[in-house]
Chain A
Amino acid sequence: MSDATTTPVTLTVNGTKHRIEVEPRVTLLDALREVIGLTGTKKGCDRGECGACTVHADGRRINACMTLAVMAEGTEITTIEGLAAGVGPRHPVQRAFIENDGFQCGYCTPGQVMSAAACVAEGHTGSDAEIREWMSGNICRCGAYAQIVAAVRDAARATEQQGVAADA
């Protein structure tokens, strides 16, 4: 291994502070998965083209593969593992994905759920067309799109009825 220069970084993930040592070139995605051990967030394309790595940074959905871990210091990161915290045991979006059979292999699912939770919180769920457009940053190779749209629709309805905050 080359003598790469690591730097100390404190990442706040799902409310917990993690003090890690990483090279500046390590992405937030790799830091979450390989260093902190939170493997719920998936690596699909590693280039911002599939959305499988979607997490929340200060409540906004982002692609973790396009974020450097060092740049995420100081933001509150929420991953799929922490989505249901405080609204437990499952987030309304997770319930909706299960009830609507919104996945097949499950690989895109954490990213879809994180993206959907933000989409609902943003209010971009007024129609199926709007849902499809505002979920278009998440790709599903199994083609579960119809059920994913149904899940987001249901989650939006449930959130409206219960007034539940979509992000923990």
Chain B
Amino acid sequence: MRDFAYTRAADTVAALTRIADPAARPIAGGTELVNLLKERIEAPDLLVDINGLPMSEIVADDDGLRLGALARMSDVAAHPAVRSGYPVISRALELSASPQLRNMASMGGNLMQRTRCPYFRADNGTLPCNKRNPGSGCAALGEHGQQRAQAIFGGSGHCVATHPSDVAVALAALDATVHVTGPSGVEEIALTDFHRLPGDEPERDTVLPDGALITGITVPASPVTARSAYVKVRERASYEFALVSAAVAVQVSGGVITEARVALGGVAAKPWRLPAAERALIGVRAAGGVDREAARAAVGPAFADARPLPGNGFKVELATRTVVRALELAVRQGGAR
């Protein structure tokens, strides 16, 4: 990697002052940035170590859950209040990466991680990739492009890469908010608005303003959070990114689903909510286990606007089944009839 200077920020003001320079980058766990440096996708002049900032809290109260941006993935996953009150978050985290990486990686950094698309990550940017080198083309959409891991929603002619975060999918399902502080002050961004679709500017992954820092993530309290599940489908049993994943949360009352949240991972450049499926799931029988056929019927039509590529059409059926499996797990939780 290219050489750089290094400084530890004593506080948030100091950190913001340093990262106002576009040639500076904040570093927390480093589990993504160090690789981006090694791959020369990032080449800053200065790294600003923000680990000393007071942003590591994990607090659950009547308003919901508050996660500091520097809270480590492993600590959030293991927190009793998260495990019991927001199991989809805990599960999504534990199915991510490896124990070693989860001990290092921060929640804020997790949201900021970049696509695993092999063309984006290819050695020294030698392959066409509009996200990495704007205007160079998209090798995935090219003649021999590998499309297995690419998007079925929200792609464009410039880019069909997906976002790899698992916990972002869980947070999207629970209507989380990303808290940001930057040159223009404090801002709150809905998690579902945080990641961008590629359009004709695939090089911008998020709407995080230049020179801003994520300070925390909040999840509003709701009856659905405790009855939630995350299912991750991947080619290896562990330590692998999702081919397709689903985060689901439900409220069950009187033996039927009365509220549902469904978000997909591995299908787009951002977590993909299925609002049509969420509405259609209301009334599906859940006593003694979810009615699988009814659940499928409710979820299937939500894929009508999917745009699979020649190489990833299987994701439509796979994602449908993954949602149904997650519903089965979510309904079984909580134990209430």
Contacts and interface: CB of A to CB of B under 8 A. Distances in A.
Interface stretch (B83-91, B93-101, B122-130, B170-178): B93-101
A51 interface: yes
Contacts of B98: 48, 51, 63, 136-138
Interface stretch (A21-29, A35-43, A99-107, A146-154): A21-29
Q: Which 8 A-B pairs have the closest CB atoms?
A: A137-B98, A24-B6, A136-B238, A60-B103, A136-B239, A137-B100, A63-B100, A66-B34
14 contacts: A5-B3, A23-B3, A24-B4, A63-B98, A67-B30, A132-B237, A132-B238, A134-B99, A136-B98, A136-B99, A136-B237, A136-B238, A136-B239, A137-B101
Contacts of B51: 71
Nearest to A46: B38
Interface of B: 1-6, 27, 30-31, 34-35, 37-38, 47, 49, 51, 74, 97-101, 103-104, 237-239
A4 B100 contact: no
Given A7-B6, A71-B27, A24 B47 contact: yes
A2 B139 CA distance: 35
Contact of B100 (A2, A68, A115, A133): A115
A62 interface: yes
Contact of B30 (A66, A119, A124): A66
Contact of B5 (A24, A48, A67): A24
Given A27-B34, A66-B31, A136-B238, A61 B4 contact: no
A48 B35 contact: yes
Contacts of A132: 237-238
A78 interface: no
Contact of A61 (B5, B37, B99): B99
B103 A61 contact: yes
A118 B3 contact: no
Given A48-B35, A133-B238, A68 B6 contact: yes
A138 to B, nearest CB: 8
